[in-house]
């Protein structure tokens, strides 16, 4: 098994550099605009994606790169490749724009559609989450594992709301209602990547959401599986970052959670 050591090193150093850029640039100049109703973007999302793309292309010029703000990058190489970097320069842009210090840089690296490396950097807490397939997940060098909580009633969950999709929005509201009553509590942190990292770290038992994009989950879903958790779609099928729904849990409460989530759809 190749361990993608160079790719992981690159993702870690680029994520750190990008995270420092994000904080510095916010203090220097912040320009907020709307991509769509409820979908905020800033000048810093764009300049950070440019920085990440430049650094990854310098290190791996033949690889494909896909980012939230600029989509698929043009490649110089004529060769086709199954190596792709999937990046979110700021996951949690709404928090970032409003000065809530809950956002991160997320970088996933995949080969033939399978994530091999996932790195998430939270510049406000200086926490670097890093995972490689088959090699576990670490936060600032310390190994992580999902929690051992084995009942929904004693779990703390996290979710997000798909505002562009009325049906999935209604499902989420109904699920939120049921699970607020049936668990220890639910959080809405505003960053899907950090939601996954926190499940991997055993801070939260589960995360579910509809309507996410590949860059939101590319790094995070690998972290949850590498920490010993389970990731499927909400319908219970195998998860891919192209899927419309995600349920990422510590594994122990997976079945119980899916039963409640599916009961409203
Ligand atoms: C958003 C965050 C949020 C989730 C949204 C995402 P962005 O990503 O991950 O938690 O609920 O669906 O779009 O836009 O801040 O990169």
Residue 192 CB less than 6 A away from ligand 1: yes
Q: What is the mean pLDDT of residues 159-177?
A: 95
What residue ranges do the domains of the chain occupy?
A: 5-143, 152-264
160 C-beta closer than 6 A to ligand 1: yes
Going by pLDDT thresholds of 50, 70 and 90, the confidence category of residue 165 is: confident
Distances (CA, A) of 215 to 49, 178, 211: 12, 29, 12
- Pocket lining: 93 vs ligand 1, CB cutoff 6 Å: yes
Task: Write down the pLDDT at residue 24.
Answer: 97
Q: How far apart are the two ends of the chain, measured CA to CA in Å?
A: 40
pLDDT confidence bin for 137, thresholds 50/70/90:
very high
Instruction: Look at residues 170, 131, 156, 121 and name the one whose alpha carbon lies nearest to residue 19.
Output: 121
Residue 260 pLDDT: 98
Please report the pLDDT score of residue 41 as a whole number: 94
Nearest CA to ligand 1 atom 15: 92
| pLDDT value of residue 239 | 98
93 CA from centroid of ligand 1 (Å): 7
What number does the ligand 1 atom closest to the CA of 192 have?
9
Asked if 221 and 231 touch (Cβ cutoff 8 Å), the reply is yes
Is residue 152 within 8 A of residue 183, CB to CB? The reply is: yes
Is 68 touching ligand 1 by the criterion CB < 6 Å? Answer: yes
Q: What is the mean pLDDT of residues 92-100?
A: 97
Least confident of 1-15, 86-100, 143-157, 188-202: 1-15
Q: In what order do the strands lie in the sheet with 104-111?
A: 71-72, 64-67, 83-91, 104-111, 114-122, 127-132, 137-139, 142-143
Do the first three CATH levels of 5-143 and 152-264 match, i.e. the same topology? no
Helix axes 166-182, 254-263, angle to 10 degrees: 130
The protein residue whose alpha carbon is closest to atom 2 in ligand 1 is 191
| Structure confidence at residue 255 (pLDDT) | 98
Residues involved in catalysis: 68, 88, 90-91, 93, 216
The mean pLDDT of 147-160, rounded to a whole number, is 98
Can you give 144-211 as a three-state secondary structure string? CCCCCCCCHHHCEEEECCCCCCHHHHHHHHHHHHHHHHHCCEEECCCCHHHHHHHHHCCCCCEEEEEC
* d(C-alpha 59, C-alpha 119), whole Å: 16
For 235-255, what is the mean pLDDT?
A: 98
Decide: 49 in ligand 1 pocket, CB within 6 A: no
Residue 77 has a pLDDT of 73
Please state the rounded mean pLDDT for residues 221-240: 98
CA 56 – ligand 1 centroid, Å: 23
> Looking at the predicted structure, is the pLDDT value of residue 191 above 70?
yes
Q: Which residues of 159-190 are buried (b: 16+ CB within 10 A; e: fewer)?
A: bbebeeeeebeebbeebbeebeebbeebeebb
Average pLDDT over residues 186-210: 98
Out of 52, 216, 221, 245, give the residue to mutate to test ligand 1, the one with the largest number of ligand atoms within 8 Å of its CB: 216
Mean pLDDT (the chain) is 96
What is the percentage of the chain residues whose pLDDT exceeds 90?
A: 91
User: Is residue 163 scored above 70 in pLDDT?
Assistant: yes
pLDDT at 3: 85
The whole-number pLDDT of residue 1 equals 56
Class assignment of domain 5-143?
alpha beta
User: Is this model's pTM higher than 0.95 or not?
Assistant: yes
- At the top level of CATH, the class of 152-264 is alpha beta
């Amino acid at each position: 098994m190749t361990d993608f050591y160079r790719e992981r090193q690159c993702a870690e150093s680029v994520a750190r550099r990008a995270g420092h850029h994000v904080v510095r640039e916010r203090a220097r100049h912040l320009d907020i605009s709307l991509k769509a109703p409820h979908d905020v973007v800033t000048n810093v999302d764009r300049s950070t994606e440019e920085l990440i793309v430049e650094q990854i292309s310098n290190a791996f010029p033949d690889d494909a790169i896909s980012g939230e703000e600029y989509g698929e990058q043009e490649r110089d190489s004529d060769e086709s490749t199954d190596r792709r970097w999937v990046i979110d320069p700021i996951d949690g842009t709404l928090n970032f724009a409003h000065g809530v210090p809950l956002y991160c840089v997320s970088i996933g690296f995949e080969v033939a559609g399978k994530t091999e490396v996932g790195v998430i950097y939270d510049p406000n807490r200086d926490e670097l989450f890093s995972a490689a397939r088959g090699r576990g997940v670490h936060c600032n060098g310390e190994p992580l594992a999902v929690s051992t909580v084995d009942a929904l009633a004693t779990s703390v969950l996290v979710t997000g709301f798909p505002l562009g999709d009325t049906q999935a929005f209604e499902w989420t509201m109904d699920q939120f209602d049921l699970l607020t009553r049936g668990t220890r509590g639910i959080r809405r942190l505003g960053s899907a990547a950090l939601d996954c990292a926190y499940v991997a770290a055993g801070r939260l038992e589960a995360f579910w959401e509809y309507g996410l994009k590949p860059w939101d989950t590319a790094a995070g879903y690998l972290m949850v599986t590498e920490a010993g958790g389970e990731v499927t779609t909400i319908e219970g099928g195998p998860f891919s970052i192209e899927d419309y729904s995600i349920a990422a849990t510590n594994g122990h409460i997976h079945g119980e959670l899916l039963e409640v989530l599916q009961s409203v759809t």
